[in-house]
Each structure stands twice: as C-alpha cells, then as structure tokens.
Amino acid sequence: MFAKKGIENTTMNDIAAASDKGRRTIYTYFRNKRDIYNAVVKTESDKIVAKLTEVLDRLEPVEQKLMDFIFVRFECYKDAVLRNGSLRAGFFMDIRKVDRARRNTTALEANILKQILNEGVKQGVFKVKHVEQTAMVMILSLQGLDVPYIRDSFAELGIEKLKLREYLKDFILNGISVKQE
C-alpha cells in the first residue's frame, strides 16, 4: 500500500484490507501507519545487516572481504529501495526519510566494517590508526554513493560496475598520495 499510494495517502483501513486483517487486529500490533512503515524499514535494515554479517564470516583475503562488504552493501540497498516503492520515493525525494532509515543500520554497518579493518590491521595488510572512526567515515562516505549506485549514474558517466569496483579498490587500498619509502 505504501508503494502504491505513499505513506501519507495510505490509511489504516487500506492496510487492514490489503493484509486481510481487521483494523482491530492491526491496532493490536501497531499504533498507527507510521509504526507499520517503521516496521517495514526495520525489516529491510535487518536483511541488509544479515547480508553484511555474512561477508564478515567469509574465508577470503581481507582486501577482498572489504571490497565485497562495499558492493554487497550497495546491492542490498539497491534491492531494498527497488523492492519497496515508498522507500524508492522517499530515498530520492526526502533526505529526512533517508536519514531515519539509515539510523537503523549505520552503527551496525560501521561495527561490521570495523571488524574487517581490525582483521586487516592484525594481519599487517591495513595501516589504520583510528579504526572505529575510520569505519564510520567510510560508511558515511559510502552512503554518499548510494543514490548514484541505485540510479546507475556511474554507467551514465561511462563507469561500468566492474570498473567502479576497481576504482574504489584503488582509492581505498592505495589512496592518492605517492608513498615515501
């Protein structure tokens, strides 16, 4: 219903009819349609965190794990946005809705990323002085790429998905400065 009519135009009667439940039953579990909408967002957020946790548990080189984390994350958000029409509209038109939806996952994503970075530091593969802060900065930076990735704006700029992965890997793992020996 939210996808068809938008959250503002969906009534509790619409939700009850669409779910084949009575209004009383709906009100037993939810106070209002905002609670139902938030439950949808939470369910989608939980799916994303579960997929990212799977990446954490992979037995692969930590550099590969980091890049998999980034692109699994992009794909999860793209799938969630495209699967949920009202999320799609909210994602592209109302930054407050985006921020509210992200609140459910930002810290959890950063924690998973922190574990990957710590693994890399422990192995001597990554040199990261402030792992927790770096993880949060990386997540917030990735959030800035979500909309172009979902809209496939990179393709419009002539950047294929495989090349995007290569460019991000080079940027994240090698940086932009010349290393002094």
Instruction: Report d(CA 32, CA 26) in Å as an integer.
Output: 9
pLDDT tens for the 181 residues of the chain, in order: 777 777 788 889 999 998 898 889 999 999 998 898 888 888 888 999 999 999 999 999 999 999 999 999 999 988 887 877 655 555 556 667 667 778 779 999 999 999 999 999 999 999 999 999 999 999 999 999 988 998 889 999 999 988 999 999 999 998 877 765 5
Q: Please indicate, yes or no, if residue 68 is contained in any of the structural domains.
A: yes
Q: Which DSSP state fits 172?
A: H
* CATH code at position 79: 1.10.357
Model-wide pTM > 0.75: yes
Q: Is residue 56 part of a domain?
A: yes
Residue 55: CB atoms within 10 Å: 21
Q: Is residue 108 part of a domain?
A: yes
Model pLDDT, residue 48 = 93
Domain residues for the domain of 122 are 38-174
Express each pLDDT in 113-162 by its tens digit: 999 999 999 999 999 999 999 999 999 999 999 889 988 899 999 999 88
- Please report whether residue 151 resides in a domain: yes
Q: Work out how many domains the chain is built from and give that number.
A: 1
Residues 127 and 110: their CA atoms lie apart, in Å, by: 17
